[in-house]
Chain A
Amino acid sequence: MIDRETVLHIAQLARLGLSDEEVELFRQQLSSILEHMAILREADVSGVSPLAHASRLTNVMREDEPDPSYPPEVLLANAPDQEEQCLKVNAVLEES
């Protein structure tokens, strides 16, 4: 079972704001979903290596050939806010 504190901790790790209703909803739903996941413990995985990828190859590498990049205004066209061809964000460090 997942408690309220765990939900808040996970939400913080995910940087996901949640309303009080969502905290309670996810507490119930995640608990219920994870109960179904318990079936995995029944699988005999002794000696089995984890499979991260279904790809049948290692990475396919390409030649490292320089290509023109995008002009800044194209990449900034979707930016919520910008200034002097930079993304504008809130202050990261507080003034002391």
Chain B
Amino acid sequence: MSALHELTLSEAATLLRQRQISSVELTRAFLERIEALDERIRAFTLVTADLALQQAQEADQRLQRGEQVTPLTGIPLAIKDVICTKDIPTTCSSRMLEHFRPPFNATVMERLQASGAVMLGKTNMDEFAMGSSTEHSAFFPTHNPWDLDRTPGGSSGGSAAAVAAGMAPGALGSDTGGSIRQPAALCNVVGLKPTYGRVSRFGLVAFASSLDQIGPFARTARDAALLLQAIAGPDPRDSTCSPTPVPDYTAELTGEIRGLRIGVPVEYWEAPGIEPSVARVGQEAIQRLRELGAEIREVSLPHTRYGVAAYYIIAPAEASANLARYDGVKYGYSYRDTSDMWEALDKTRQYGFGPEVKRRIMLGTYVLSAGYYDAYYKQAQKVRALIAQDFEHAFEQCDVLVSPASPTVAFKLGEKLSDPYQMYLNDVFTIPANLAGICGISIPSGFSEGLPVGLQILGNAFAEATILRVADAFQRVTDYHTRRPSL
């Protein structure tokens, strides 16, 4: 048997059910791994070791009795620190929420707890999920396990790095413009952004409410399917959460994709800034899919080139409204050295927010302000409609679409910090799916000079089962997802 921290989630679940290992042993193995490695990687903002061991004991009791056992019972997981955990700090990697302890659990946390999962801790992120490198954490940057001088991507960089380094077999993140798929690609793990409305956003600290979705990280498509199964489905506390029935995702993992129509959006492959080695790895992955019997065809998403601009108007606009709640009155950081209400408000926000969050509040407020609303915000919303239509047309001809998940491999820490727009361009392939509300997954698809390259598979709304089937079929004939960084 391989070391416990090398097990996939599914392998661990089988061993737990067979009582060959206990959840306490498994949890301890991951806690030891975190202890040994996280000083260098810094994926976690908080490790909840005592709670994890307590939850593991409870899971072991469930497994022993054979009651209420699910595939996640006894499985340790890492949780992005944007997801509310009752009485446990939920910081969004911001000074603003450094000491915030939510009085409630996010719906996804309730569901994980009901399934008997174990929480290892909370993971680092770009502040309020705004960023593509995890360098905008107010606390510290996270390092890519494949090269500690590089970023893990972001904003869910902590969750991606934790899974990549074997510090957790699975994790949750959130994806507003690529914040699950891009770090998954840069860290050689699987990351899935569900369809808008597939997973409840209750207890997900809001960034851009029309775009945000919670989703899983794991080593394999099968593991991601198990995690999605546990968290998906309607929630009375989220009026945008869909009543569409949740299929049995693992039942769809047949390995069979013969005749499946896979579209290759030409605009994604011709995008400026795509590294040739990334495109080459992507083309090789498409060849594998062709060998599996899929029908590969070119498609056009003609409004792709407007995606980044539309997104970086809409997302900051929504963020500027959502973040208006941080006023230093109800919770969070509060500037107190004044008796003037307005000064207290201004300074609370000045000192509580970091530079990227301020930049987006400014940008969002600008595009919503009188005189600029029509030219920027309304125009971006119209372009958003065109981007959504592009996908509607494409999915009339194809079952899924494939592209690289990120135009580049992991970049150096500090490399893109001084030019915000260069950082925004990292999201060029992931943003359109959020704007259209469809689902997407990034899976390990090869390497360029030792650094991982992710393949993005996009599916129509509520077609998670299809993209997971393609991802799983690809992983059955490739071993990229089994490769580990040397740490």
A-to-B contact residues, CB < 8 Å: 2, 6-7, 9-11, 13-19, 22, 26, 29-30, 32-34, 36-37, 39-43, 45, 48-57, 59-62, 70, 74-75, 77-81, 87, 89-92
Whether A48 lies near B331 (C-beta < 8 A) is: no
A75 to B330, CA, bound (A): 9
In the complex, what residue of chain B is closest to A62 when comparing beta carbons?
B236
Q: Which residues of B contact A70 (CB under 8 A)?
A: 103
Q: Which residues of B contact A2 (CB under 8 A)?
A: 366
Q: Which residues of B contact A7 (CB under 8 A)?
A: 362
Whether A49 lies near B236 (C-beta < 8 A) is: no
Whether B347 lies near A45 (C-beta < 8 A) is: no
Q: Which residues of B contact A75 (CB under 8 A)?
A: 103
Out of A13, A40, A54, A60, name the residue touching B234 (CB < 8 Å): A60
A69 to B128, CA, bound (A): 27
A79 to B349, CA, bound (A): 16
Whether B385 lies near A29 (C-beta < 8 A) is: no
Number of A-B contacts (CB under 8 A): 181
Whether A16 lies near B435 (C-beta < 8 A) is: no
Q: Which residues of A contact B29 (CB under 8 A)?
A: none
Contact of A87 with B330 at beta-carbon distance under 8 Å, contacts A26-B359, A81-B336 already known: yes
Q: Which residues of A contact B101 (CB under 8 A)?
A: 77-78
Against A, the Cβ 8 Å flags (1 = close, 0 = not) of B268-298 are 0000000000000000000000000000000
Out of B242, B309, B327, name the residue touching A39 (CB < 8 Å): B309
A48 to B375, CA, bound (A): 14
A14 to B168, CA, bound (A): 39
How many positions in chain B have a CB within 8 Å of any CB in the partner chain? Answer: 79
Whether B350 lies near A16 (C-beta < 8 A) is: yes
Whether B341 lies near A50 (C-beta < 8 A) is: no
Out of A6, A9, A48, A57, name the residue touching B382 (CB < 8 Å): A48
Question: What's the least CB distance linking A69 to chain B, in Å?
Answer: 11
Whether A90 lies near B309 (C-beta < 8 A) is: no
Contact of A90 with B339 at beta-carbon distance under 8 Å, contacts A45-B383, A52-B210, A60-B239 already known: yes
A2 to B376, CA, bound (A): 14
Out of B303, B312, B361, B435, name the residue touching A37 (CB < 8 Å): B312
Whether B336 lies near A59 (C-beta < 8 A) is: no
Instruction: Verify if B363 is at the interface (C-beta below 8 Å from A).
Output: yes
Q: Which residues of B contact A54 (CB under 8 A)?
A: 196, 210-211, 388, 434-438
Whether A15 lies near B349 (C-beta < 8 A) is: yes
Whether A90 lies near B341 (C-beta < 8 A) is: yes
